Amino acid sequence: MTRGAPALEIARKVRDGSVSAAEVVEESLAAIDAVDPEVHAFLIVLHDDARSAAADIDRAVAAGEDPGPLAGVPVAVKDNLCTRGVPTTCSSRILEGWRPPYDATVVERLRAAGAIVMGKTNLDEFAMGSSTENSAFGPTRNPHDLTRVPGGSSGGSAAAVAAGLVPLALGSDTGGSIRQPAALCGVVGMKPTYGTVSRYGLIAFASSLDQVGPLTTTVTDSAALFDAIGGQDLRDSTCLERPAPRSVSVLSDGVEGLRVGVLAELVDDVDPAVAGRVREAAEALAAAGAVVEECSVPELRHGLPAYYLLAPAEASSNLARYDGVRYGLRVEADTVEAMNAATRAAGFGAEVKRRIMLGTYALSAGYYDAYYGQAQKVRTLIVEALESAYRRFDALLGATTPTTAFAIGAKIDDPWAMYLSDVCTVPSNLAGHPAISVPFGADDDGLPVGVQVLAPALGEPVLFRVAAVLEDAAPVAAPPKVHAR
């Protein structure tokens, strides 16, 4: 049995022939079929494709070929990543039924590493949201409490991993969309340094902020998945030329002598139960030999208002492509402009329209300097303040989210209340820095708490070293109520 096992353990067994990829895939499919009707992590499950890919892996093993470092490991893919011939919706009516003519680079790399794509996971429409309630195809539910949200926008990927349906999933993180749902579902979620992972085939939301990354049950798997998908891609000109930092090899290096700053802004402003866990995490790092100090980066408090001008501005431009001409929905009208406007009215949900409106306003004549221009300058202030902090510290520590998982429906009618869910995560996106959320105990209701480690650009090795120590020190938390045991 491999159900619930970490990915690298599964890959080892598949590679040495003690378990077949076919068995692993059947277990994952059975778990999905049994549990997902309650959780709704998946928008589509690829039964046939997964079985066929597993057979290929088993043939490679039998023939003595190298089946790859993630051989036979089931993986779920957020549905804003293109999969050739397989519907890719972004949880939007405007792309319902669309079949991309190409695979995202990260999907190609997963297949090359031997991983098996099991299906596409639910998200807030076009990754805009913090609860997965903004999906045109219905919300995903948190496996720890089905009345609560899994976070978002990668809520389907986080819930699929938390419920034990797959050991690995890909998400995307524009303002916290990997780390926030990871925290709320009790799994590990990591946003890589901007430019270390190709965005080719990631459907764009805010191009200067978007980055693809792993959601996993363990820190080791997070590093392994990052190693598998990272590295230069000539089809994404924002990809760094240098190789992405390799991370699996440093995991057991510990934190002896590392300087870790506990960010006041990411502790003082969050719920007491969450703040308490962050302080325990800081103590655990000190006990493991890190030099831990309190610190303050007041500029981080400007992150959320800056983000909620910059990201919608970029989105309003990126989503101009949904015009009813080349793909997706079209609502017929007499002129092109009327057709565009009717198509976008019918195809986009409320949050996407809200962000496009906000971004269009922030970029419009007369308001550009006051809103977009000012937010870009504030972005500079935040980047410089973080870089200054990293002259004193190797890594920073704080909460991932201001609260644990909230009830479905609680914030859906109050956009700013929902946006506040991202307050701890947006600074790393604005700066392009890596950050990871690691499960660290629970609150009084038994809901998972995530602590966040932040590092400077290309600081993934330090990030994973700190995360590994936190994982070992984490208080034991109750397993999810809904789980494929």
The nearer residue to other proteins, 372 or 440, going by C-beta atoms, is 372
CA distances to 18, 82, 283, 399 from 75, rounded to whole Å, are 20, 15, 34, 27
Q: Which helix (H) or strand (E) holds 118?
A: strand 116-121
Number of residues that bind other proteins (CB under 8 A): 70
Task: Look at the alpha carbons of 155, 311, 194, 411 in this order and tell me if their dihedral is positive or negative.
Answer: negative
- Residue 412's nearest CA partner among 371, 351, 476, 322 is 351
CB of 101 to other proteins, least distance (A): 5
* Smallest distance from other proteins to CB 351, Å: 10
- Residue 362 Cβ, how far from other proteins at the closest point, in Å? 8
Q: Is 366 in the site for other proteins (CB under 8 A)?
A: no
Instruction: Please tell me whether residue 30 binds other proteins under the rule CB under 8 A.
Output: no
Nearest-approach distance from CB 458 to other proteins, in angstroms = 11
- Spatial separation of the C-alpha atoms in residues 144 and 228, rounded to whole Å: 29
Distance, CA of 354 to CA of 161 (rounded, Å)? 30
Alpha carbon distance 174, 191 (integer Å):
9
Q: How far is CA 336 from CA 110, 339, 340, in A?
A: 40, 5, 6
Site string (445-484) toward other proteins, x via CB under 8 A: ------------x---------------------------
- The residues in 375-434 that bind other proteins, with binding defined as CB under 8 A, are 375-381, 383, 415-416, 419, 430-433
Q: Which residue has the tokens 């995991």?
A: 251
157 is a site residue for other proteins (CB under 8 A): no
Q: What is the DSSP letter of 372?
A: I
Chain positions 240 to 279 lying near other proteins, rule: CB under 8 A, are 240
Give min distance, CB of 103 to other proteins, in A.
12
What would the x/- binding string for other proteins be over residues 65 to 84, using CB under 8 A? --------------------
Catalytic residues: 78, 153, 177
Nearest approach, Cβ of 331 to other proteins (angstroms)? 9
Nearer to other proteins, 55 or 383 (CB): 383
Task: Fill in the DSSP letter of residue 369.
Answer: I
Burial of 302 (0-12, 13-18, 19+ CB in 10 A): middle
For every residue of 245-272, DSSP letters joined together read PP-GGGGGG--TT-EEEEEGGGTTTS-H
Spatial distance between the Cα atoms of 100 and 332, rounded to a whole number of angstroms: 23
Exactly one of 165, 270, 358, 469 binds other proteins (CB under 8 A); that residue is 358
> What is the phi/psi pair of residue 475, to 5°?
-60, 145
Q: Give the residue with the Cβ less far from other proteins, 69 or 359.
A: 359
Q: How far is the CB of 126 from other proteins (least distance, A)?
A: 14
Q: Whole-angstrom distance between the N-terminal and C-terminal Cα of the chain?
A: 11
Residues 431-450 within binding reach of other proteins (CB under 8 A): 431-433
Backbone angles phi, psi at 224, to 5 degrees: -65, -40
Beta bridge pairs of residue 396? 261, 454
Q: Single out the residue of 23, 47, 102, 108 in contact with other proteins (rule: CB under 8 A).
A: 102
Residue selected from 354, 412, 473, 483 as contacting other proteins according to rule CB under 8 A = 354
Shortest distance, position 73 Cβ to other proteins, whole Å = 29
Q: Which of 360, 412, 446, 479 binds other proteins (CB under 8 A)?
A: 360
Using CB under 8 A, which of 309, 436, 451, 467 touches other proteins? 309
Judged by CB under 8 A, does residue 110 bind other proteins?
A: no
> In terms of residues, how long is the chain?
485
In order of 7, 93, 137, 154, 445, the CA distances from 194 in angstroms are 25, 29, 30, 18, 36
Residue 131 binds other proteins (CB under 8 A): no
User: What part of residues 173-232 is at the interface with other proteins (CB under 8 A)?
Assistant: 194-195, 208
Restricted to residues 310-349, the positions that interact with other proteins (CB under 8 A) are: 316, 320, 323-330, 332-342, 344-345, 348
* Of the residues 55, 98, 250, 291, which one makes contact with other proteins according to CB under 8 A: 98
DSSP structure class, residue 383: H
Binding residue (CB under 8 A) for other proteins from 3, 93, 353, 483: 353
Structure tokens that stand for 461 in this block:
């090795």
Q: Cα separation of 404 and 274, whole Å?
A: 7
- Distance, in Å, from the CA atom of 287 to the CA atom of 280, rounded to the nearest integer, reads 10
Interface with other proteins (CB under 8 A): 98-99, 101-102, 194-195, 208, 234, 237-238, 240, 302, 304-306, 308-309, 316, 320, 323-330, 332-342, 344-345, 348, 353-354, 356-358, 360-362, 364, 370-371, 373-381, 383, 415-416, 419, 430-433, 457
